[in-house]
Structure 1
Amino acid sequence: MTLAADVDRIAAESDFAGVVRVDRAGSTELSAAYGLADRRHGIPLTPDSQVAIASGSKGMTALAVMSLVEDGTLSLGTTARSLLGSDLPLIADDVTVEHLLAHTSGIGDYLDEDDDVPISAYAMTVPVQHLATTEQFLAVLDGFPTAFRAGEKFFYCNGGFVVLALLAERASGVPFHDLVRQRVCAPAGLVDTDFLRSDALPGRAALGYVEMDGEWRTNVFHLPVLGTGDGGIYTTGADVHRFWTALFAGAIVRPETVAQMVRPRSTAPYDDRRYGLGFWVHPTRDVVQLEGYDAGVSFLSNHDPAEGLTVTVVGTTAEAAWPLAKALQAQLID
């Protein structure tokens, strides 16, 4: 069975709605889309649809921060407190940029994924339309006590990457979204990647969906109207491939910085994957991953720099991507 036929079968069996792409050694082996970008109007997804990748954005946040480290605006040892001032007083004084990038900061998380909160819940504590700038996230970041001492262990922390966006913005004097555009998207040639407002999506952007009360509803009330450091960027399958190619070519940050970021520093307590600075790493191989999961979003992209292999699956529901992503990872990566 060909790769395309196998993907068609799994997509049909799992009722997949999303985009899948496989690139190897400069050639695109598969680029396909399934399901609807807009279920109300019956608009189909295409391989060129812009899709949200949730926490897949964390790699781009990390790169924007590390580009500031390269030019001396920040350092890995810069403390959060030195830029926060009196804001977020419960963040310990010794928490550094490196701790935040590595998910070892120990800060309390505004969106703790270990909580037994269903993905369909309205999790934001302020109206989502009030979360359009990074500074506005101070209202949801505050009030969470330290969970453990900085550097003590790995614990995935969404709030840590919002704090990183805030530190990068304050240190550089450039709004965070512009930092990502200027320091990541532009040098990587990402023509279809951007932070998009959920209440003003352009025509090629796919809506994310949450099943509630037996019907599919868009995720517009579940997530901030405009994402920030921990997630919310939209992209395409082609741009994800461009991103990985540019990253390992040294087009975004220097190759030695890339090596530092993808060097495993911790092992996740709940699976056998490892983590660097903004990137997941395969349990046993030098394969780098970005992953995203949220209301109306599921995303996994694996990149093997040695083989020039990229495997990307993006779904427009929280569960859509996983059957296909796991099957392709087992077949092409593991």
Structure 2
Amino acid sequence: MSTLPDEVTLSDGVDAVARQSGFAGAVSIVRGGETVVEKAYGLADRARGIRNTAGTRFGIASGVKGLTALAVVSLISDSALAFETTARSVLGGDLPLIDDAVTVEQLLAHRSGIGDYFDEEAEGEITDYVLPVPVHELVATEDYLRVLGGHPQKFAPGERFSYCNGGYVVLALIAERVSGVPFHELVRTRVCEPAGMTATGFPRSDELPGDAALGYLPIAGHDRTNVFHLPVVGSGDGGAYSTVGDVGRFWLALLGGRIVSRSAIARMLERVSDAGDGMGYGLGFWLRDADGAVLLEGYDAGVSFRSWHRVDRDETVTVISNSSDGAWPVARRLAELLG
């Protein structure tokens, strides 16, 4: 049985790659409920010289999808929804290009086949302006109807896996309509509060709290933020801010059955699809074949985030950066060191 690297080895390893890559962000390793490494690097606000700390709030982009999935599954546990509920039964006449047979479970598993308003398979750069409406107009969940519509179904529901941001906004819309509670409030009360995630939420990008990091684009010679690239308030597919500490608490609460039941979690973490590159996908979570880790990941203009938990070690690793690609070199190095 191999011995895991100690705190000094891990800390030195992170320091080295952070220096080499110019990493700005925060890193946390928690094992058995004890913090092994918790460090921050670089600037949260380059113009004002404000440094990142372990308590800095960062955007987590698509890491939100796990929170959305849990909010939806909690409504299923309360019998307000079912995995078999069709999107059409809730949407009514809205978004008519979504196939009438698409179900909540297919949306959770990225197997719905619906056209995507923010298609990551399309060619382009992370610095592109991709939203067809002014970003400040996307505030409430219902506002997203303007960008979700007009995208034809790509394939028959259930046919195969195809990562879909729009599907998770549709899930947010469904959750909001069946519960009568705004989506952001559902995430707060059904996911964040049970997990003790007091620093996690959906602030407006033009009204960020003082402890939040600005997200920076990879434009040489410029310190340009992502404020014009993303919706002013996120939805079911991304846009929340969190801390490495809150993410660590999330995994403990998730696997401890404090957000939804352990039986519900077991269903969410069953492998539904082969997602390629040694990864599978369940319902809201990535599943890594090599070591059985469960992952959340996010990538967007000015945001990169990866967090994984290994049940066999009771170990959580979280890397968040306020730049588009910043998290990846550090996450890769930690994966190498930890094996």
- TM-score bucket (shorter structure): over 0.9
The residue aligned with 1:22 is 29
1:221-240 aligned within 5 A: 221-240=228-247
The residue aligned with 1:202 is 209
The residue aligned with 1:297 is 303
**How far apart in 2 are the matches of 1:184 and 1:250?**
11
CA offset at residue 292 of structure 1? 0.1
- Establish whether residue 313 from structure 1 lines up as the match of residue 319 from structure 2: yes
Q: Which amino acid aligns with 1:133?
A: A
**How far apart in 1 are the matches of 2:40 and 2:142?**
36
The residue aligned with 2:286 is 280
TM-score using structure 1 length: 0.98
- Establish whether residue 165 from structure 1 lines up as the match of residue 172 from structure 2: yes
The SS at the match of 2:292 is: coil
The SS at the match of 1:292 is: strand
**How far apart in 2 are the matches of 1:213 and 1:29?**
35
- Establish whether residue 37 from structure 1 lines up as the match of residue 8 from structure 2: no
**How far apart in 1 are the matches of 2:241 and 2:217?**
18
- Establish whether residue 327 from structure 1 lines up as the match of residue 328 from structure 2: no
**How far apart in 1 are the matches of 2:90 and 2:170?**
10
- Establish whether residue 105 from structure 1 lines up as the match of residue 102 from structure 2: no
**How far apart in 2 are the matches of 1:212 and 1:190?**
33
The SS at the match of 1:2 is: helix
| Residues 24, 322 of structure 2: 8 Å contact kept | yes
**How far apart in 2 are the matches of 1:3 and 1:306?**
19
The residue aligned with 1:123 is 130
Point out where structure 2 has 5 or more consecutive residues left out of the alignment: 1-7
CA offset at residue 308 of structure 1? 1.1
**How far apart in 2 are the matches of 1:2 and 1:113?**
36
TM-score using structure 2 length: 0.96
CA offset at residue 306 of structure 1? 2.6
Point out where structure 1 has 5 or more consecutive residues left out of the alignment: none
Match 1:53 to one of 60, 69, 76: 60
Q: Which amino acid aligns with 2:198?
A: V
**How far apart in 1 are the matches of 2:221 and 2:48?**
19
> Aligned pair in 2 of structure 1 residues 322, 212: CA closer, same or farther (>3 Å)?
same
- Establish whether residue 182 from structure 1 lines up as the match of residue 189 from structure 2: yes
**How far apart in 2 are the matches of 1:199 and 1:304?**
36
Q: Which amino acid aligns with 2:19?
A: A
**How far apart in 2 are the matches of 1:135 and 1:37?**
31
The SS at the match of 1:246 is: helix
| Residues 118, 165 of structure 2: 8 Å contact kept | yes
The SS at the match of 1:274 is: strand
Q: Which amino acid aligns with 1:301?
A: S
> Aligned pair in 2 of structure 1 residues 280, 70: CA closer, same or farther (>3 Å)?
same
1:44-83 aligned within 5 A: 44-83=51-90
| Residues 226, 301 of structure 2: 8 Å contact kept | yes
**How far apart in 2 are the matches of 1:76 and 1:190?**
26
The residue aligned with 1:141 is 148
What does the per-residue CA deviation read over 1:179-218, in whole Å, with 9 as the maximum and x for residues that have no partner? 0001000111111111111000011000000133631201
What does the per-residue CA deviation read over 1:73-97, in whole Å, with 9 as the maximum and x for residues that have no partner? 0000000000101100000000000
Q: Which amino acid aligns with 1:170?
A: R
The SS at the match of 2:224 is: strand
Q: Which amino acid aligns with 2:255?
A: F
**How far apart in 1 are the matches of 2:290 and 2:78?**
33
**How far apart in 2 are the matches of 1:15 and 1:284?**
29
| Residues 18, 330 of structure 2: 8 Å contact kept | yes
Match 1:245 to one of 241, 249, 252: 252
The SS at the match of 1:77 is: coil
CA offset at residue 327 of structure 1? 1.1
Count residues with an aligned counterpart.
Answer: 332
1:249-264 aligned within 5 A: 249-264=256-271
What does the per-residue CA deviation read over 1:99-144, in whole Å, with 9 as the maximum and x for residues that have no partner? 0000000000011111111100111110000001110000000000
CA offset at residue 310 of structure 1? 0.3
**How far apart in 2 are the matches of 1:5 and 1:272?**
28
CA offset at residue 170 of structure 1? 0.3
